[in-house]
Amino acid sequence: MLIETGARVLRLLPPEAAHRATIRLLGAVGPLLPDATPDDPRLAVRAFGCDLSNPIGLAAGFDKDAEVPDAMTKFGFGLVECGTVTPRPQAGNAKPRLFRLPADGAVINRMGFNNRGMEAMAARLAHRKRCGVLGINIGANKDSPDRIEDYRIGFRRLAPLADYITINVSSPNTPGLRALQSRDELERLFAALESERVAAKVPLLLKIAPDLTEGEIADVADIALASGLDGIIATNTTIARPSTLRDANASESGGLSGVPLFQRSTEVLKQLRQRVGGRLTLVGVGGVSSGADAYAKIRAGAALVQLYTALAYEGPKLIARIKKELLNCLEHDGFSTIAQAIGADAS
């Protein structure tokens, strides 16, 4: 009850101030929070070598510096992904850079990978007692002369501290970064990481944009398979602005997340599933705010689902509600487990 009341008060603050205050509050009360209620066994899923009690994860962007991963796990997430973190600390873009679109259930951000750098994150995680499945999302510094080298450095430093690493080449807020999603650049990137991956034995995922063409999605899928990746996260925020947007902030530049992203991100997910089948773990992200939304991602091919924007609007009670609704969806369709529903709509 205290956390929910605090969440309502924090939403009265400007978006970035509310986010920073939320992290500080969780840092203070996190150790005092009770452990999450045990999940129904029907929600259990195995992905990239990890056993998860449920498929609902926290997307990157909320806990950029891995300050509160354990507190978020206690709210009932099956996995928590921290970052995006870069090799060197980075201030990000000029403020204001985070905008609520409440009329659309959406957010626009142009944060620009603001974070304290990989060494600060590594120092914090080195003292952490492992609690739940932790992913680390890594990026490149804006002014880096060799962005592929940044990913190699970040992977080497942080892989020993994570259950999996995500390569973020799809943020729209670092100029030129999305060019790394091209066939040639992805092949170069994965080749540069090969020796690090062999040594670390940590699963590697790639997070892609929703704005790719069908041909580009096919290229990403084929390269991911050829390179031995463990999974793809679909998707990051979009630079598109659907005509349905109503909020006054809709004209702000940056990446759009939340409800308006749901349809497109789910379509990308379905295209990936049709291309890779069950050979890669797919993670569905974009517009998830209910159990029905999460279930649609799963039926489209996702083994796991992540969210962030809806959490900002609804608070941590959302997680338990989604899991309850997800069980209702399974029962309605006659599935005994999550695994049985994966990809049911992708054929």
CA distance 45 to 170: 26
Residue 236 DSSP class: -
Rounded CA-CA distance 117/87 in Å is 5
Residue 94 DSSP code: P
Instruction: Determine phi and psi for 166, rounding to 5 degrees.
Output: -110, 130
**Which of 208, 233, 16, 13 is CA-nearest to residue 108?**
16
Here the tokens at position 81 are 């992904």
Residue from 171, 257, 289, 290 carrying the catalytic annotation? 171
The set of residues, in sequence order, having a beta carbon less than 8 Å from that of 8 and lying 6+ positions away, is: 315
Query: CA 225 to CA 55: how far, in whole Å?
Result: 23
Q: Beta partners for 136?
A: 82, 165
CA distances from 59 to 48, 166, 196, 309, 311 (A): 17, 11, 24, 9, 10
| Alpha-carbon torsion (187, 192, 197, 202), positive or negative | negative
171 is catalytic: yes
- CB neighbour list of residue 319: distance below 8 Å, 6 or more residues apart: 56, 75, 76, 77, 311
Alpha-carbon distances of 28 from 1, 20, 32, 331, rounded to whole Å: 16, 13, 8, 39
The structure tokens listed for 337 are 């487990």
DSSP-derived secondary structure letter, 250: G
| Catalytic residue list | 171
